[in-house]
Structure 1
Amino acid sequence: MVAPFPARRGARAPVGHHATCETEGVPESRGRVVAVVGPTAAGKTALSVALCQRIGGEAVNGDAVQLFRGMDIGSAKAEPAERGGVPHHLLDVLDVSDEANVAVFQRSARATIDEIRSRGAVPVLVGGSSLYVRAVLDPLDFPGTDPDVRARWAAELERRGAEALHAELTERDPDAAAQILPSNGRRIVRALEVVELTGRPFAAAMPGFHSIYDDLVMIGLEVPRDVLDARIDARVDQMWAAGFVEEVRALRTQGLDESLTASRALGYQQVLSYLRGEIDESEAIAQTKTGTRKFARRQERMFRKDPRVTWLAFDDPDLVERAVALASSA
């Protein structure tokens, strides 16, 4: 396996808080790369499979939650039968007790893309997180870390809670706060740490929209807001019908409750609260729907800032043909 994630169940990933990534001066990489982006529930998986089948592509996962083994229903991970015979990379590479880290993901995804291109295939990066997608495509540098500063902010998180700390981040760095869910304590702590260490906004680490790949095509799926909200609600209902609660129960035996990243994922966090008796099941469902709708708005807002994205209507009857034409014209 080309990526530095553990390839076997039970292996620990080298993904601690201290990972840094020096990417300045990354050379331009030749060879076509396609990215399919957009908000959750827009249909990215289905389009990416159809696109790969038509252009000789292989899918590269750009969703942090789908990195984890067993987090299938809640992340809408494509089942093998839904993958249409297309190779999928960077799925199921972490245990829930491991920590997802964007700097390690960056190295893994880039190595995977290089390996796919070396075989003459087209890598198709599929993701809804602007940070994860840009970490792969752009010369993004990850600042270092200071254990003492991080520990102090982590203590503040424990004392004051994620929402209060998110409000402080909003005052110090509103652009970063807009990209981070108020419930994502770990990322809030990281942003506050970077602001303190560098004296610059966390978002200042983001470069301009300039890819390290000189033959990049970015395709965005556009869904009207009311339609997307309905699709999200239907997806959450389907998750529960498919056994989402049972999935979370099983993952608790593997350390989900104690995880730093997996336990904070949308849906999983709410089901854990339900199973702990903190909220009832109907509230867990409602919070998952509300949180996912808000997350989808953040996703679309961030991708709309990227001028490289060509937006296509999710329900265009010629969607696949248009996507193939874009990918083939690079």
Structure 2
Amino acid sequence: MGKLVVIIVGPTCSGKSRLSLNLAREIHSEIISADSRQVYRLIDVGTAKPSAAERKEITHSFINSLDLDEKFDVSLYEKQALVKIDKLINLRKIPIVTGGSGLYIRALLDGIVDLQADEDLRKELFAKKENFGIEFLYKELTTVDPEAAKIMLPQNWKRVIRALEVFYLTGKSITTFHADQFRSRSNYNFLLFGLNWKRAILYKMIETRVDEMIKNGLVDEVKSILTRGYSETLNSLNSVGYKEIIAYLKNEISLETAISLIKRNTRRYAKRQLTWFRKDERIHWFDIENELDLITIKNEILNKIKAAL
């Protein structure tokens, strides 16, 4: 059956953290965060991190691990998270991965093509795109890697360029790399669960959470970060909640407008998250109408874990 790993996904504000905590308490395990922002220190209020008390009770990985100006990407996450997963399994614990960063989850499940970029090759491919158009590059791909071209649209030029990069650097199809990554995951048994609220209820919860963030000091948190000398252009601060408050502090918009934008942009982000996750047919979805449903869901997941052991 493979090494058991539980993964809980869903849009922001759906109760993933709460459910994961309750599961971890039941099975005496730890939580591996799959959130591209909670990994950074200092951005606490706007990322809705588990509380210090919750993190003390249940060990969380990839929360408060980095300074705001440290680089972190999906490739690093994949490598480090797999190491952590294996450590927990060796301790006879069932890892619980939870988060809303779809790319991080996909990297764990399927792997990513991890090659060192060749800047000269990349510049050459980008120059071809600018001079001759993406159709020219797509035709080139159909010649050197027809297998990859079959599963790509010409308009998705970033994927086309990446596939050409892989071929010219290795002589292999990008699909071969994906297949190799899939084989490397065959010794894991991933149980995937998704939380799906009715949209109107989810949006109401998002608005409530944003109001609570403002009440809990989001503005002061951003002020403190900028006072410490961190640049407002950092990738870690280029996220919903922080970029709007930064605009407010620069007198570009009012606080009322900032709050309204945070709510709107969070709703849009939640919609994108759901769109991403719904494409993955491996996820078992739970429909939720109220928070009491999370108790039932926890028990259902526990039953599925027992059945998989």
Distance in 2 of aligned mates of 1:251 and 1:217: 38
Please give the secondary structure, in 1, of the residue aligned with 2:251: coil
After the TM superposition, which segments of 4 or more aligned residues of structure 1 sit over 4 Å from their partners? 146-152, 191-195, 204-213
The one-letter code of the counterpart of 1:85 is E
Which residue matches 1:24?
Answer: none
Instruction: Give a deviation string over 1:71-101, Cα, whole Å, max 9, x none.
Output: 1110100012234721111111110111221
Please give the secondary structure, in 1, of the residue aligned with 2:190: strand
* Selected match of 2:74 from 86, 89, 102: 102
Tell me the CA shift for residue 245 of structure 1: 0.7
* Selected match of 1:62 from 25, 34, 47: 34
Provide the aligned length of Structure 1 versus Structure 2. 268
2:279 is equivalent to residue 305 of structure 1? yes
Which residue matches 1:234?
Answer: 208
2:283 is equivalent to residue 283 of structure 1? no
Distance in 1 of aligned mates of 2:103 and 2:64: 20
Which residue matches 1:15?
Answer: none
Which residue matches 2:193?
Answer: 219
Q: Say if 1:149 and 1:95 are closer, same or farther in 2 by CA, change over 3 A.
A: farther
Please give the secondary structure, in 2, of the residue aligned with 1:306: coil
Distance in 2 of aligned mates of 1:61 and 1:81: 16
Please give the secondary structure, in 2, of the residue aligned with 1:74: helix
Tell me the CA shift for residue 144 of structure 1: 4.0
2:301 is equivalent to residue 329 of structure 1? no
Contact map agreement 1:73 1:244 (CA 8 A) in 2: yes
Distance in 2 of aligned mates of 1:143 and 1:222: 35
Q: Say if 1:215 and 1:223 are closer, same or farther in 2 by CA, change over 3 A.
A: same
Q: Say if 1:138 and 1:252 are closer, same or farther in 2 by CA, change over 3 A.
A: same
Distance in 2 of aligned mates of 1:287 and 1:81: 31
Tell me the CA shift for residue 53 of structure 1: 1.0
Contact map agreement 2:78 2:111 (CA 8 A) in 1: no
Contact map agreement 1:35 1:125 (CA 8 A) in 2: yes
Which residue matches 1:91?
Answer: 63
Contact map agreement 2:68 2:234 (CA 8 A) in 1: no
The one-letter code of the counterpart of 1:58 is E
Q: Unaligned stretches of 5+ in structure 1?
A: 1-28, 153-168, 174-190
Distance in 2 of aligned mates of 1:207 and 1:41: 32
2:46 is equivalent to residue 46 of structure 1? no
Q: Say if 1:52 and 1:292 are closer, same or farther in 2 by CA, change over 3 A.
A: same
Distance in 1 of aligned mates of 2:120 and 2:239: 26
* Selected match of 1:271 from 242, 245, 259: 245
Distance in 2 of aligned mates of 1:76 and 1:213: 33
Per the normalisation by structure 2, the TM-score is 0.77
| Pair member with larger Rg | 2
Contact map agreement 1:106 1:135 (CA 8 A) in 2: yes
Q: Say if 1:148 and 1:287 are closer, same or farther in 2 by CA, change over 3 A.
A: farther
2:55 is equivalent to residue 77 of structure 1? no
Instruction: Give a deviation string over 1:95-128, Cα, whole Å, max 9, x none.
Output: 0111221111111111111111111111100111
Please give the secondary structure, in 1, of the residue aligned with 2:267: helix
Instruction: Give a deviation string over 1:241-262, Cα, whole Å, max 9, x none.
Output: 0000111111113444255311
Tell me the CA shift for residue 220 of structure 1: 0.7
Q: Say if 1:108 and 1:268 are closer, same or farther in 2 by CA, change over 3 A.
A: same
Instruction: Give a deviation string over 1:173-195, Cα, whole Å, max 9, x none.
Output: 9xxxxxxxxxxxxxxxxx96664
Q: Unaligned stretches of 5+ in structure 2?
A: 125-133, 139-155, 166-173
Q: Say if 1:142 and 1:225 are closer, same or farther in 2 by CA, change over 3 A.
A: farther
Distance in 2 of aligned mates of 1:255 and 1:110: 34
Contact map agreement 2:232 2:246 (CA 8 A) in 1: no
Distance in 2 of aligned mates of 1:123 and 1:197: 32
CA RMSD of aligned residues (A): 3.2
Which residue matches 2:96?
Answer: 124
The one-letter code of the counterpart of 1:224 is K
More helix by share: 2
